[in-house]
Amino acid sequence: MLDISHILKVENGSFKVVFYSKENGDTPFLDFYETLTPKMRARVFWTINLLKKPPEERL
């Protein structure tokens, strides 16, 4: 299972998405994301955008 604790931070009940970058510029999450099928990319994108919304807007 993918550990996304390093890209999601809680701020006022919403999540702030922060993509981790290594010192050499590599971005592990984006590298993983690029391996997904278009359908799975859409699901991940939708989920991340949903988490960025305030809790009352997630329904």
What is the DSSP code (8-state) at residue 13? T
pLDDT at site 54: 77
pLDDT at site 35: 95
CA–CA separation, 44 and 34 (whole Å):
11
pLDDT at site 57: 81
Task: For the chain, give every domain's residue range.
Answer: 8-57
Give the chain's end-to-end CA distance (angstroms, integer): 25
Model confidence pLDDT, tens digit, residues 1-49: 455 555 555 666 677 777 778 889 888 888 999 999 999 999 998 888 8
Closest listed residue to residue 6, CA positions, set 32, 43, 38, 35: 32
